[in-house]
């Protein structure tokens, strides 16, 4: 005799979701470094903000450390995708270490912009979140005191800057597109002469994932965002879904973390994944849902991504 019929659940799967080109490249860098140099290969900070990814690389022989002084001189070290202050590669060079920089090329682009503005004598306003590794890395490209962090629209009114006529702004690549637009408008209103990037610094993957989650959030009773609590782009996806009118939007690291009581009465569930969350975690959640529901899946495609980034030259086969 069969048990009671499972409730129906329609899943809206956001596309694009999950890994972006910068994350893909960073993980590949660690894997290729392990092949080339053998284990262990050290990695300064989490290569990307995802526990599952970090643990799978540890299983292959990567050792994650907080700072360079925890790395022996004779082992290679990889710098994370978020970027590092200039002092870090300088110290690695001083110690004659083999180091591989896995900074996302789109973060490096922001670093170059900031350097160019500094060279032109401009004071830089960095839109971003205090303490995030990407913000620390960007501020660390330039001398102390030459970059001021702006976190909110409210911050703009009280900013103290050396000269209002000679300013430029850059932004962290993983912010909310809409929030950042509000901060940029406030900056332009207060400092009409401020210069900014020709194209938005927020990366294509962040922009695309937010656009996709907006579409599914408008149709869903609840949204699950797969990602890590320290992943800025994943946290922004939750916020964006809520703003779009889906208050039952939550971050989960993987299927085991789902609070099933929160999904009580949900007929349409949106699912997406932050740029550092692997697709295997999405598959895991779908498998878990199928245990409990009669699931139909609709992939909602709002953009197609074909961006790839080359690996650093140091990893090329000799």
One-character DSSP codes across 257-306: G--GGGGTT-SEEEEEE-TTS-HHHHHHHHHHHHHHSEEEEEEEES----
Please choose, from the candidates 15, 97, 98, 102, the residue with its C-alpha nearest in 3D space to the C-alpha of residue 57: 102
Annotate 38-72 with DSSP letters as a single string: -S-EEEES-SSS-HHHHHHHHHHTEEEESSGGGS-
Q: Taking the CB of residue 184, how many other CB atoms lie within 10 A of it?
A: 21
DSSP-assigned beta bridge partners for residue 11:
269, 297
Residue 169 to residue 197: CA distance in whole angstroms:
7
Q: How far apart are CA 31 and CA 315, in angstroms?
A: 10
Query: 23: which residues sit within 8 A by CB, 6+ positions away?
Result: 48, 81, 104, 275, 276
Active-site hit among 46, 134, 288, 299: 134
Beta bridge partners of 150: 127
134 is known as an active-site residue: yes
Residue 282 CA to residue 163 CA, distance in Å, equals: 49
Collapse the DSSP code of 251 into the 3-class scheme (helix H, G, I; strand E, B; otherwise coil) and give the result.
Answer: strand
Q: How far apart are CA 216 and CA 10, in angstroms?
A: 12
Residues 107, 128: Cα–Cα separation, whole Å: 13
Q: Are 27 and 47 in contact (CB under 8 A)?
A: yes
Partner residues linked to 124 by β-bridges: 147, 168
Catalytic annotation, residues: 134
């Amino acid at each position: 005799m069969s048990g009671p019929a499972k409730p129906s659940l329609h899943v809206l799967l956001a596309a694009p979701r999950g890994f972006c080109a910068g994350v893909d490249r960073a993980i590949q860098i660690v894997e290729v470094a392990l092949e080339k140099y053998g284990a262990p290969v050290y990695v300064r900070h989490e290569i990307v903000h995802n526990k599952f990814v970090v643990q799978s690389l540890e299983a292959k022989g990567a050792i994650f450390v907080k700072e360079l002084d925890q790395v022996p001189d004779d082992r290679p070290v990889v710098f994370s995708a978020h970027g590092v202050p200039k002092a870090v590669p300088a110290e690695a060079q001083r110690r004659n270490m083999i180091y591989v920089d896995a900074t996302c090329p789109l973060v490096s682009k922001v670093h170059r912009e900031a350097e160019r503005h500094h060279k032109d004598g401009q004071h830089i306003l960095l839109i971003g979140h205090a303490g995030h590794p990407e913000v620390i890395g960007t501020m660390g490209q330039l001398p102390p005191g030459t970059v001021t962090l702006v976190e909110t629209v409210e911050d703009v009114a009280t900013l103290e800057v050396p000269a209002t006529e000679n300013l430029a702004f850059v932004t962290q690549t993983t912010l909310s597109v809409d929030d950042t637009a509000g901060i940029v408008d406030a900056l332009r209103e207060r400092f009409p002469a401020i210069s900014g990037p020709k194209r938005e610094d927020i990366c294509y993957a962040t922009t695309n994932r937010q656009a996709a989650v907006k579409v599914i959030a408008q149709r869903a009773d609840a949204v699950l965002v797969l990602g890590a609590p320290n992943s800025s782009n994943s946290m922004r996806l939750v916020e964006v879904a809520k703003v779009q009118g889906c208050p039952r939007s939550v971050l989960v690291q993987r299927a085991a973390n789902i609070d099933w009581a929160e999904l009580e009465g949900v007929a349409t569930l949106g699912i997406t994944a932050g740029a550092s969350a692997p697709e295997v975690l999405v598959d895991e959640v779908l498998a878990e849902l199928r245990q409990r529901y009669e699931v139909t899946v609709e992939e909602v495609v709002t953009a197609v991504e074909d961006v790839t980034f080359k690996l650093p030259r140091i990893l090329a086969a000799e």
